[in-house]
Amino acid sequence: MKFTLLITGGLSAQAPRTALRFAQAAIDAGEGVGLVFFYGDGVQVARHAGKPRPGDLEITPAWSAFAAAQGVGLVACVAEAERQGLDEADLAPGFHIGGLGQWIEAGLECDRLLTFAA
């Protein structure tokens, strides 16, 4: 089964953390993750310069490492990135800026679309 993930929760939300655990579990179970699309507040995760609270998982580097290890695309929504003053130079490794069209296309090609919102 191939999944597309939509993450709308930001840095302080549980959503990007749960999504990463799900993505890794899916890969470990022999399933596929086609695309991870960061939308709304989720775009914050794509920025490389954050410093988390001590003891918290550094979620952005964790997603970068996952993308590098598994070859999964991480896309931050271009419209939301523009609203937040984020461009390609601000992104952590493995993240790219793209439009909702990429999310739609990934959704058409996958078996299941999952949303991590909170």
Partner 1 sequence: MRKTVLILARSQPHGSSRGPDLLDLALAAAAFDQRVCLVFLDDGVWQVRAEQNPGAIDACDFARGIGALIQMDGADILVERESMDERGLSFHMMRPVVRMVSRAQVPALIARADMVVAG
Contacts of 97 (CB under 8 A, 6+ apart): 75, 76, 77, 78, 81, 86, 87, 88, 91
Q: Does 40 bind partner 1 (CB under 8 A)?
A: yes
Q: Does 3 bind partner 1 (CB under 8 A)?
A: no
Among 29, 49, 89, 108, binds partner 1 (CB under 8 A): 108
- Per the listing, tokens 């296309």 go with 105
Binding site for partner 1 (CB under 8 A): 6, 8, 39-41, 79-80, 99-101, 103-105, 107-108, 113, 115, 117
Question: Which active-site residues does the annotation give?
Answer: 77
